[in-house]
Chain A
Amino acid sequence: MFRLEPRASAPLLWQVATPVMAVIATMITGGLLFAALGFDPVASIRTIFWDPLFGPASGYSRPQLLVKAGPLILIASGLALGFRAGIWNIGAEGQYIIGAICGAAVALAAYPHEAFWIFPAMIVAGAVGGWAWGMIPALLRNWFGASEILVSLMLVYVAQKIAAWMAFGPMKNPEGFNFPGSRNLQQYPAASNPELIANTGLHWGGIAALVALVVTWFVMSRHILGFRIRTAGAAPRAARFAGVRPERLVALCLGLSGALAGLAGLFEVAGPAGQITESFGSGYGFTAIIVAFLGRLHPLGILLAGLLMALTYIGGELAQMMLNLPASTVQVFQGMLLFFLLGFDILTRYRIRRRA
């Protein structure tokens, strides 16, 4: 039999190798699943992981990579800060929705005015909206000790209901033939978030995601704040001893990750999505949790993980069109990926030895 022996620190090799192993294991298991469902496993896996980049339709799907990866990376880089500190914001989906609604509200209020300040004001409104939605669980935890996990998650459902209400009520497009949903911001130049370079899929959200990665990398590796965040996650008592105030850290991490999620929502509603609809939230907030873990809470890892996750989204759509695979394949893949990652993680934390 085997025996586990805790490691004092996680070797870099395993930290890099385990996510790769998890991806490979997911492909293999996914292939078996497809085979069981009666699909050609090799073709399915190739359609999901290869064709979006290099297949015949890659001209269409490649730009989609940045469109999907942008919000994932933006949200995940904020979540990673909190996860490092042991603060579990799992309600990014709600903060994403509220950020989009707040940003859209600015645009719809200004409509049809054309001015340079409209888009920046929307950005501010999106960030503030997401920040405020994230501060609710933060304050409830600090004041009353309520679990931020459950509160932030409940607020996702509340945010979804608000989005539905907006789509049917206050934000409904007066020229929309009574269909639910707001005006389409893509058709309102002062408020739209267009593709910046043709056929790249890059919009302001992608730029924001890159900025977020660089800033979080700097904070985590060079600034004392990053050290305090890591200390709070690794040893809360040592963090207090070092002068960390847990309440401030909770407010900072939930507020910041909320603001970044809100920004992601804003860029989405002003860009690819275009309007607030009943089902505006599309799960980016939850997928970003997987991206954060798969990227080992490290900015560079999050970049790669975000691109990979975006790939599965696009590949999933492609597989749905080409092979008739069910649309929810991607979700199953993402869940499996996280399972494998968590399972393989034992290799970074323990040494496995054969029992004498």
Chain B
Amino acid sequence: MSDVFRAEGLGKTYPGVRANDDISFSVGAGEIHALLGENGAGKSTLVKMIYGLVRPDEGHMQLSGTPHAPADPRAARASGVAMVFQHFSLFDALTVAENIALGMENPPPRAELSRRIAELSQAYGLPLNPARRIASLSAGERQRVEILRCLLQNPRLLIMDEPTSVLTPQEAEILFATLRQLAAAGTAILYISHKLEEIRTHCDRATILRHGKVVGTVDPRAHSARELAAMMVGAEMKLVDRSGRKPGDVVLDVKALSTPAATEGVTLKNISLTLRTGEILGIGGVAGNGQDELLAALSGEITTPHGTVTLSSADLSALGPDPRRAAGLLSAPEDRLGHAAVPQFSLTENTLLTAGGRQDIVKRGLIDHNAARAFAESIIKAFDVRTPGPGTAAGALSGGNLQKFVIGREVLGGPKVLVVNQPTWGVDAGAAAAIRQALLDLAAKGAGVIVISQDLDELLELSDRFCALNEGRLSPPRPTEGLTIDEIGLMLGGAHGMEVGHVPA
């Protein structure tokens, strides 16, 4: 197996952070090579260097034996590196063909390009209409556009950045079939992920990063997920304690909740659920299937017709966020920066977003700044938020610490019901474990908790019952015990009409 790509001693320093340190590894022709690491381990910096978005401070790279030092992404593409981004790099208002043309150095004329798109999408079982606008495509279809954009350049090295985070398990299977087909044709694939099972099943080798350094390159099939996780995190994972919970009476009752058709976002369609005290209800789903809208409809950012949201027999449907909080229905949205917290504001000020009423910080409209600071300090203490103090701007905290603060702010509010969306997204393993434990403890004390998440492992770990959110519809709940990933995948909508590639390699 000849090396297509080789990195030797790569290093990159940002102010205060050694993002990459002496990174060496290689990817062979026809190999699917995993790059494994926690958030902040240096994966994205490394990939940006290969793709020409960032220049390394030290070390060098080789592509097919020749030095690889791209000045910008166009140079990288010209030399045969292609990349599928985690957050799609697509242009919503433009068509599929225009998006693909933007990703090519010398696109052929429009008609010719459309023909080649049709050809290639046939060959790899990725059906796409070149004239459609991106805005009208599903997440899976958007990824197909990204992949086709890469394939049209006949890349030598294809980088995939967390590609399955937006796919159902079935869709992910189809993606891997496509990748296998490509690898068989000699393309080297660098596959970035933190999903251990996926890597164990599909990747040939795995290079593990921790704190910007290579821990080792291993054969993932020869190690258990537990062992890989230990290498990634650097310590044994702590198991969460699920004991001490007894579901009681129904505390939250959502009946036939729908939202009006909107020009943006997903419409919720006839959602019903019940939540008992002491229970954790998990709601899974692929990104963009109504998670944000469901949280908004429960938090009060969106109001709905009478009788749709009832908390302990009080109808909250028509009330906004403030009265709902007063009634005991608290929530924490997914986006920490700009939704759950204001990045420019201090932690003290950020308590005022949701805790003004429940903590007696705001009385008759007047702010008691001392009480706000005291509450911020109590969150910092109780949730081990690492920060110089409550006067620090929220945006200056790491993702994990800010998330601990946001969840802590709501948990300490003593909710009857807490709704959280993606509580551990982009958070390091230690903070994630602490947040999960806090949610379990809250339920053990008798609160009802709804966890909306795209991380199925997290949902299986935390929840008593599981529902799937798919295109704005909520499936009936199933007890989590005994549920398999395959069953969940079907609940999430299966493969959304994708077909498996069917061309001889």
**B320, B335, B340, B345: which has the most chain A beta carbons within 10 Å?**
B345
| Size bracket, chain B contacts | 35 or more
Q: Which residues A1-39 have CB closer than 8 A to chain B?
A: 5, 8-10
CB distance from B393 to the nearest CB of A (A): 4
| Across-interface contacts of A9 in B (CB, < 8 A) | 344, 346, 393, 395-396
Contact A227 to B367, CB < 8 A, known contacts A5-B15, A237-B335, A243-B322: yes
* CB pair B365 A224 closer than 8 Å: yes
| Across-interface contacts of A8 in B (CB, < 8 A) | 343-344, 392-396
User: With A and B bound together, what is the CA distance between A240 and B353 in angstroms?
Assistant: 10
* CB pair A245 B320 closer than 8 Å: yes
CB distance from B38 to the nearest CB of A (A): 23
Q: Would you call A356 an interface residue if the criterion is a C-beta within 8 Å of the partner chain's C-beta atoms? A: yes
User: With A and B bound together, what is the CA distance between A118 and B484 in angstroms?
Assistant: 81
* CB pair B349 A227 closer than 8 Å: yes
* CB pair A243 B321 closer than 8 Å: yes
| Size bracket, chain A contacts | 20 to 34
* CB pair B366 A242 closer than 8 Å: no
Across the interface, name the chain B residue whose C-beta is closest to A227: B352
Q: Would you call A121 an interface residue if the criterion is a C-beta within 8 Å of the partner chain's C-beta atoms? A: no
| Across-interface contacts of B362 in A (CB, < 8 A) | 224
Q: Would you call B299 an interface residue if the criterion is a C-beta within 8 Å of the partner chain's C-beta atoms? A: yes
* CB pair B320 A243 closer than 8 Å: yes
* CB pair A235 B342 closer than 8 Å: yes
Q: Which residues B319-373 have CB closer than 8 A to chain A?
A: 320-322, 325, 333, 335, 338-346, 349, 352-354, 356, 362, 365-367
Q: Would you call B499 an interface residue if the criterion is a C-beta within 8 Å of the partner chain's C-beta atoms? A: no
* CB pair A242 B321 closer than 8 Å: yes
Q: Would you call A225 an interface residue if the criterion is a C-beta within 8 Å of the partner chain's C-beta atoms? A: yes
Contact A241 to B365, CB < 8 A, known contacts A8-B395, A8-B396, A235-B339: no
Proximity bits, B296-332, A CB within 8 Å = 1, else 0: 0001110000000000000000001110010000000
Q: Would you call A223 an interface residue if the criterion is a C-beta within 8 Å of the partner chain's C-beta atoms? A: yes
| Across-interface contacts of A10 in B (CB, < 8 A) | 344
User: With A and B bound together, what is the CA distance between A353 and B300 in angstroms?
Assistant: 43
CB distance from B472 to the nearest CB of A (A): 20
* CB pair B346 A237 closer than 8 Å: no
CB distance from B403 to the nearest CB of A (A): 15
Q: Which residues A209-262 have CB closer than 8 A to chain B?
A: 222-225, 227, 230-231, 234-235, 237-238, 240-243, 245
* CB pair A241 B352 closer than 8 Å: no
| Across-interface contacts of A240 in B (CB, < 8 A) | 301, 321
Q: Which residues A51-96 have CB closer than 8 A to chain B?
A: none
Contact A234 to B301, CB < 8 A, known contacts A5-B15, A243-B321: no
* CB pair B339 A222 closer than 8 Å: no
User: With A and B bound together, what is the CA distance between A227 and B354 in angstroms?
Assistant: 12
Across the interface, name the chain A residue whose C-beta is closest to B331: A241
User: With A and B bound together, what is the CA distance between A237 and B337 in angstroms?
Assistant: 10
| Across-interface contacts of B300 in A (CB, < 8 A) | 243
* CB pair A231 B335 closer than 8 Å: no
Contact of B344 among A224, A225, A234, A242 (CB under 8 A): A234
* CB pair B365 A238 closer than 8 Å: no
Contact A235 to B338, CB < 8 A, known contacts A224-B352, A242-B354, A243-B321: yes
* CB pair B340 A241 closer than 8 Å: yes
Q: Which residues A147-206 have CB closer than 8 A to chain B?
A: none
Proximity bits, B384-396, A CB within 8 Å = 1, else 0: 0000000011111
CB distance from A303 to the nearest CB of B (A): 23
User: With A and B bound together, what is the CA distance between A181 and B240 in angstroms?
Assistant: 81
Across the interface, name the chain B residue whose C-beta is closest to A236: B338
User: With A and B bound together, what is the CA distance between A222 and B346 in angstroms?
Assistant: 16
User: With A and B bound together, what is the CA distance between A209 and B333 in angstroms?
Assistant: 41
Q: Would you call B92 an interface residue if the criterion is a C-beta within 8 Å of the partner chain's C-beta atoms? A: no
* CB pair A225 B320 closer than 8 Å: no
* CB pair A235 B367 closer than 8 Å: no
User: With A and B bound together, what is the CA distance between A230 and B367 in angstroms?
Assistant: 14
* CB pair B342 A222 closer than 8 Å: no
* CB pair B356 A238 closer than 8 Å: no
Across the interface, name the chain A residue whose C-beta is closest to B391: A9
User: With A and B bound together, what is the CA distance between A8 and B396 in angstroms?
Assistant: 5
* CB pair A238 B366 closer than 8 Å: no
CB distance from A232 to the nearest CB of B (A): 10
Contact of A238 among B15, B342, B346, B393 (CB under 8 A): B342
CB distance from A209 to the nearest CB of B (A): 24
Contact A238 to B344, CB < 8 A, known contacts A9-B393, A223-B367, A224-B367: no
Contact of A231 among B321, B325, B353 (CB under 8 A): B353
| Across-interface contacts of A5 in B (CB, < 8 A) | 15
* CB pair A353 B15 closer than 8 Å: yes
Q: Would you call B57 an interface residue if the criterion is a C-beta within 8 Å of the partner chain's C-beta atoms? A: yes
| Across-interface contacts of B321 in A (CB, < 8 A) | 240-243
Across the interface, name the chain B residue whose C-beta is closest to A231: B342
* CB pair A356 B57 closer than 8 Å: yes
CB distance from B387 to the nearest CB of A (A): 11
User: With A and B bound together, what is the CA distance between A245 and B300 in angstroms?
Assistant: 11
Q: Which residues B30-47 have CB closer than 8 A to chain A?
A: none
* CB pair A241 B344 closer than 8 Å: no
* CB pair B333 A241 closer than 8 Å: yes
User: With A and B bound together, what is the CA distance between A242 and B339 in angstroms?
Assistant: 9
* CB pair A241 B301 closer than 8 Å: yes
* CB pair B354 A241 closer than 8 Å: yes
| Across-interface contacts of A356 in B (CB, < 8 A) | 13, 57
User: With A and B bound together, what is the CA distance between A123 and B398 in angstroms?
Assistant: 53
User: With A and B bound together, what is the CA distance between A231 and B395 in angstroms?
Assistant: 14
* CB pair B299 A241 closer than 8 Å: yes
| Across-interface contacts of A224 in B (CB, < 8 A) | 352, 356, 362, 365-367
* CB pair B352 A238 closer than 8 Å: no
* CB pair B396 A238 closer than 8 Å: no
Contact of B338 among A223, A227, A230, A237 (CB under 8 A): A237
| Across-interface contacts of A241 in B (CB, < 8 A) | 299, 301, 321, 333, 339-340, 353-354
Across the interface, name the chain A residue whose C-beta is closest to B372: A227
CB distance from A85 to the nearest CB of B (A): 13
Across the interface, name the chain A residue whose C-beta is closest to B397: A8
CB distance from A195 to the nearest CB of B (A): 37
CB distance from B337 to the nearest CB of A (A): 8
User: With A and B bound together, what is the CA distance between A224 and B371 in angstroms?
Assistant: 14
* CB pair B57 A238 closer than 8 Å: no
User: With A and B bound together, what is the CA distance between A234 and B342 in angstroms?
Assistant: 7
User: With A and B bound together, what is the CA distance between A234 and B395 in angstroms?
Assistant: 12
Across the interface, name the chain B residue whose C-beta is closest to A245: B320
Across the interface, name the chain B residue whose C-beta is closest to A230: B345
Across the interface, name the chain A residue whose C-beta is closest to B356: A224
Across the interface, name the chain A residue whose C-beta is closest to B346: A9
5 contacts between A and B (CB under 8 A): A227-B352, A235-B344, A238-B338, A241-B333, A243-B325
9 closest A-B pairs by beta carbon, nearest first, are: A8-B396, A8-B393, A243-B322, A9-B393, A243-B321, A242-B353, A235-B338, A8-B395, A237-B339
Interface residues, chain B, with chain A CB atoms under 8 Å away: 13, 15, 57, 299-301, 320-322, 325, 333, 335, 338-346, 349, 352-354, 356, 362, 365-367, 392-396
Besides the contacts A223-B366, A235-B338, what 12 more A-B pairs have beta carbons closer than 8 Å?
A5-B15, A9-B346, A9-B393, A223-B365, A224-B367, A240-B301, A241-B339, A242-B354, A243-B322, A245-B320, A353-B15, A356-B57
